[in-house]
Amino acid sequence: MTDETLTPERILETAEEVLRRYGLSKTTVVDVARALRVSHGSIYRHFPSKAALQDAIAERWLARKSLPLIAIANEDGPATERLRRWLNLLSSTTRKNVLDDPELFATHKELANSARNVVRTHLDHLVEQITYIIRDGIAQGEFATDDPVVTARAVFAATTLFHDPAHVAAWSDPDLDATFDGVWSLILAGLSPRDIPHA
Amino acid sequence: MTDETLTPERILETAEEVLRRYGLSKTTVVDVARALRVSHGSIYRHFPSKAALQDAIAERWLARKSLPLIAIANEDGPATERLRRWLNLLSSTTRKNVLDDPELFATHKELANSARNVVRTHLDHLVEQITYIIRDGIAQGEFATDDPVVTARAVFAATTLFHDPAHVAAWSDPDLDATFDGVWSLILAGLSPRDIPHA
């Protein structure tokens, strides 16, 4: 690889592979440079420090995870169906990541611990996507809430068990889907406009 | 201490102290016996194995945690207010345990990992207490649900972020109380009887 063809994207791709192999603490910028057959100076031209490289890897990974969710948030169509599909996709993607490739997941977990600001921004973006769907639902007469942002935060919090990797042990519970349906009923009831009694 | 005054309760109390000092893996039944100045045979007369002793310590600790919750479940009075107070107490007790005495909490965490069946039973009991309050609420006309057990599981799941020690990092979020209020609104809306339109 020459410095001319060395794009940030190419560095991040290789860096993620190197991280997965050695773990975060043992990986150096020199390891990434070696895997790309460039000098470590070439890497530093794009990423001024290991911390900057880490943050960029985390951003890239989380953006990859967000993309199909953003697509659902931006669709037309009934907000209720989109919110349910969005929550299902968030849960299923996380579970797939954790269970299908435990090695990569371990890398992501280490990254998440060291790139806390990147993760916080990602979580804010997820709540913004829920807010967006809720506002759509209000405009379409499906939902009612005084404060879409607080409600979006509540929806995200109420589904923690299903999308937070901390709960991997709970995901093999045979009642999990029934419990999700139950939580979904609470969410839907909470979002539905109250019937206004006729005088 | 003589064998005559050596009650199971006395053993468990001392064993929890010993565990807290040495950690679960390093503690032996002999350590507990030494702390009580009895022979390890005296301990085995009450608890046939280290595993049995561990389970009993976990049961005692979780029963201690459950007691004030059971009291709320068994009260008379409006179910809505009791459910909210029950959820608040569960969250605040867990947070207090985790944040006030990290050493004891670390011991409890180790115990929970090795006494999984005891923990599972405890969680089932918590959901039963919610179910009990929900049934009360149905009888009093405050709540409506086709399946109080599934709804109770959903309420417990929806509040995971607030009462599961896995989320200790989230508890310092200044928005936490507002988010809890949001989740509580979802729960309450989900439990409220729907208005039946008048013909």
**Domain boundaries along the sequence of chain B:** 8-48, 51-191
Q: Of B136, B125, B20, which is closest to residue B63 (Cα–Cα)?
A: B125
Q: Give the model's pLDDT for residue B154.
A: 97
> What residue ranges of chain B have pLDDT lower than 70?
1-4, 195-199
Does the distance separating the beta carbons of B179 and A157 come in below 8 Å? yes
Does the distance separating the beta carbons of B154 and A179 come in below 8 Å? yes
Q: Give the model's pLDDT for residue B196.
A: 52
Q: Give the model's pLDDT for residue B1.
A: 65
Write phi, then psi, for B163 (nearest 5 degrees).
Answer: -125, 0
Query: From CA B114, how far away is CA B54, in angstroms rounded?
Result: 8
Residues of A in contact with B159 (CB under 8 A): 158
Of B164, B175, B186, the CB nearest to A186: B186
Residue B133 to chain A, least CA–CA distance (Å): 17
- Looking at residue B165, the DSSP 8-state letter turns out to be G
Of B157, B164, B197, the CB nearest to A179: B157
Q: Give the model's pLDDT for residue B195.
A: 60
Q: Does A190 touch chain B (CB under 8 A)?
A: yes
For A41-91, how does the pLDDT look when each residue is reduced to its tens digit (9 = 90+)? 999 999 999 999 999 999 999 999 999 999 999 999 999 999 999 999 999
Q: Give the model's pLDDT for residue B14.
A: 95
ipTM of the complex: 0.88
Q: Is A90 helix (H, G, I), strand (E, B) or coil?
A: helix
For residue A194, pLDDT beyond 80 = no
Q: What is the DSSP string of A20-43?
A: HHH-TTT--HHHHHHHHTS-HHHH
Lowest mean pLDDT among A26-30, A107-111, B126-130: A107-111
In a mutational test of the A interface, the residue from B145, B164, B180, B186 whose CB has the highest number of chain A CBs within 10 Å is B186
Q: Residue A108's pLDDT band (boundaries 50, 70, 90)?
A: confident
Does the distance separating the beta carbons of B161 and A186 come in below 8 Å? no
Q: Give the model's pLDDT for residue B197.
A: 47
For A129-186, how does the pLDDT look when each residue is reduced to its tens digit (9 = 90+)? 999 999 999 999 999 999 999 999 999 999 999 999 999 989 999 999 999 999 999 9
- What are the C-alpha distances in Å from B101 to residues A53, B20, B95, B97, B105? 37, 10, 10, 6, 6
CATH architecture entry for B51-191:
Orthogonal Bundle (1.10)
**How many beta-carbon pairs below 8 A join chains A and B?**
96
Q: Give the model's pLDDT for residue A195.
A: 60
Q: Does A177 touch chain B (CB under 8 A)?
A: no
Of B157, B161, B179, the CB nearest to A183: B157
Q: B9: left (phi > 0), else alpha (psi -120 to 50), else beta?
A: alpha
Residues of B in contact with A151 (CB under 8 A): 182, 185-186
Q: Give the model's pLDDT for residue B142.
A: 97
Q: Does B175 touch chain A (CB under 8 A)?
A: yes
Residue A129 to chain B, least CA–CA distance (Å): 17
**Contact (Cβ atoms closer than 8 angstroms) between residue B158 and residue B187:** yes
Q: Of B47, B156, B51, B141, which is closest to residue B94 (Cα–Cα)?
A: B156
Query: From CA B90, how far away is CA B127, in angstroms rounded?
Result: 12
Q: Of A73, A71, A53, which is closest to residue A61 (Cα–Cα)?
A: A53
Q: Residue A197's pLDDT band (boundaries 50, 70, 90)?
A: very low
CATH architecture entry for A56-191:
Orthogonal Bundle (1.10)
For residue A199, pLDDT beyond 50 = no
CATH of B8-48, one of 1.10.10.60, 2.60.120.620, 1.10.10.10, 3.50.50.60: 1.10.10.60
Q: Give the model's pLDDT for residue B84.
A: 98
